[in-house]
Amino acid sequence: MELNPVINLRGLTIHVKEECQERRMLQLKKFPRLKIAVSDCLKGVECRYNGGHAQDDFVKNQLSEYADFVPFCPEAAVIGTPRETIRLVDVKGQVRVLGSKSNTDYTDGLQAYAEERVALIQQRDVDGAVVKSRSPSCGLERIKVYRESGEWFGSSDPMRQGLFTAHLQKTLPYLAVEEEGRLQDAWLRESFVMQVFSAARWREFMGSDPSVADFQAFHRDHKYLLLSKDEALYRQMGPIAAQATTANLHESLLRYSELFHQAIAEKGRRGQMINVLQHIYGYFKKQATAEEKAFFHESLEEFRQGVIPLIAVIKILQNLIHHYGSEYLQTQVFFHPYPAELALRSDTSAYR
Ligand code: SF4
């Protein structure tokens, strides 16, 4: 667009604003490339105890479209492939990792591998991790602990995480971590994908040497996404962004980062989502026709009842934005949190 040479100062201001708005809208549709740590066997690598793999369709065929992987396989690296199976055993009150046949204690080697590989994962600044379920190394939960005699503790067993994943979560407490099995659940998958794309956006934003104005724009554009996650955290984040100055920017970004990662770690809740949808609808309630109002409220009720998916209500709101216009809403990440083709908001069970 060329500037009109006789344009006055007021006209110039409008022009620059339009350009800014356009740039932010284009950025919205550009998704960051994800960095995901992953159990190697889920990618199809034959590193399991029996020389097989545990290829996962979501990891191999969907996530790989959007992510670069940082793989790990503690057992292949420490014990080799093929190998005897291992298990967690309570040895005099301490949980150790022992070979099921040989009783060899592999704990120290596996712990050393975990420390080295998690340091690499941290250094690569990954956005999330997908780990293999039911593994004494990689499992996220419900891994059995046995007695030295070989018996299981039974219902008194508190169960726990695999050794590697326990170290990963201890080191990076706000990292999005899911098992491939849990990701079959539409609710957990939507929350995980939302979290990793949000973490990646923050990572890229921090790498862009942001100014105070950039910081405030980031917060503004994430308003409805954050409100849909945790309103109390969103209310704490607002003053940090609003009171940021060139002098305190670094410290403000650090404080904001912690709250941002806490907020995006929350799972999607239907009730909170309904509040956000009503809030957005509020922009148009004076202009909307009686028919538009009735259609929105009917659709919202159907979403509440789990009859229609979230995307159906979002499309109604986008239609209102298109028809009546709203600069503020057009740049909300809430409408484009991850690539639309993942279709995660099209499942009626993606919110609880
Ligand atoms: S579950 Fe973990 S340790 Fe076992 S084969 Fe897969 S990556 Fe390796």
Q: Of 167, 184, 201, which residue is a domain's last?
A: 184
Determine the distance separating the centroid of ligand 1 and the alpha carbon of 121, expressed in angstroms: 16
Q: Residue 238's CB: how many other CB atoms inside 10 A?
A: 15
Position 159 scores a pLDDT of 86
Determine the distance separating the centroid of ligand 1 and the alpha carbon of 112, expressed in angstroms: 16
Kindly list the distances between the CA atom of residue 189 and the CA atoms of 29, 127, 200, 304, 345, in Å, as whole numbers in the listed order. 21, 15, 16, 20, 10
Note whether 56 and 196 are same-domain residues. no
Is residue 4 assigned to a domain?
no
Note whether 81 and 204 are same-domain residues. no
Sheet with 34-39: strands ordered across: 67-72, 34-39, 128-131, 176-179
Alpha-carbon distance 26 to 34, whole Å?
Answer: 19
Element (H, E) at 309: none
User: At residue 327, what is the residue type?
Assistant: E
Best residue among 135, 179, 180 to mutate for probing ligand 1's pocket (most ligand atoms within 8 Å of CB) is 135
Is residue 222 assigned to a domain?
yes
Note whether 54 and 155 are same-domain residues. yes
Position 153 scores a pLDDT of 84
168 lines ligand 1 (CB under 6 A): no
Query: By alpha-carbon position, which residue is closest to atom 4 of ligand 1?
Result: 48
Is residue 85 assigned to a domain?
yes
Is residue 74 assigned to a domain?
yes
Number of domains in the chain: 2
pLDDT in tens, 115-174: 999 999 999 999 999 999 999 999 999 999 999 988 888 888 888 999 999 999 999 999
Note whether 143 and 190 are same-domain residues. no
75 lines ligand 1 (CB under 6 A): yes
Determine the distance separating the centroid of ligand 1 and the alpha carbon of 35, expressed in angstroms: 19
Atom of ligand 1 nearest to the CA of 49: 5
Note whether 132 and 218 are same-domain residues. no
pLDDT in tens, 246-266: 999 999 999 999 999 999 999
Atom of ligand 1 nearest to the CA of 42: 6
Kindly list the distances between the CA atom of residue 55 and the CA atoms of 20, 38, 42, 70, 195, in Å, as whole numbers in the listed order. 44, 11, 4, 16, 23
Query: By alpha-carbon position, which residue is closest to atom 8 of ligand 1?
Result: 73
Looking at the DSSP bridge assignments, the partners of residue 96 are: 89
Note whether 295 and 174 are same-domain residues. no
Alpha-carbon distance 45 to 71, whole Å?
Answer: 10
Note whether 225 and 326 are same-domain residues. yes
Is residue 251 assigned to a domain?
yes
Nearest to 297 by CA among 279, 321, 319, 313: 313
Residue 131 near residue 140, CB atoms below 8 Å: yes
Note whether 249 and 142 are same-domain residues. no
Note whether 304 and 193 are same-domain residues. yes
Alpha-carbon distance 37 to 128, whole Å?
Answer: 6
Atom of ligand 1 nearest to the CA of 72: 7
Angle at the Cα of 230 (from 207 to 26), degrees rounded to 5?
40
Position 336 scores a pLDDT of 95
Nearest to 25 by CA among 323, 317, 331: 331
Residue with token string 């960095």? 35
Domain, as residue range, for 250: 186-352
162 lines ligand 1 (CB under 6 A): no
Best residue among 43, 137, 143, 167 to mutate for probing ligand 1's pocket (most ligand atoms within 8 Å of CB) is 137
Position 23 scores a pLDDT of 57
pTM: 0.91
Position 5 scores a pLDDT of 36
Cα Rg, the chain, nearest whole Å: 24
Strands (E), 61-137: 67-72, 86-91, 94-99, 128-131
Mean pLDDT, consecutive 10-residue segments, the chain of 352 residues?
36 46 61 97 98 97 96 98 96 95 97 98 98 97 93 85 97 96 96 98 98 98 97 97 98 98 94 97 95 97 97 97 93 96 94 91
Position 6 scores a pLDDT of 36
Note whether 175 and 214 are same-domain residues. no
Q: Of 163, 184, 205, which residue is a domain's last?
A: 184
Note whether 168 and 201 are same-domain residues. no
Note whether 225 and 126 are same-domain residues. no
Token pair listed for 103: 């009783």
Per-residue three-class SS string for 178-227: EECCHHHCHHHHHHHHHHHHHHHHHHHHHCCCCCHHHHHHHHHHCHHHHH
Is residue 14 assigned to a domain?
no
Looking at the DSSP bridge assignments, the partners of residue 146 are: 89, 152
Kindly list the distances between the CA atom of residue 48 and the CA atoms of 39, 68, 77, 115, 132, in Å, as whole numbers in the listed order. 10, 22, 11, 21, 11
Atom of ligand 1 nearest to the CA of 76: 8
Is residue 166 assigned to a domain?
yes
Angle at the Cα of 290 (from 288 to 292), degrees rounded to 5?
55
Q: Of 154, 184, 214, which residue is a domain's last?
A: 184
Is residue 27 assigned to a domain?
no
Position 8 scores a pLDDT of 37
Alpha-carbon distance 37 to 169, whole Å?
Answer: 12
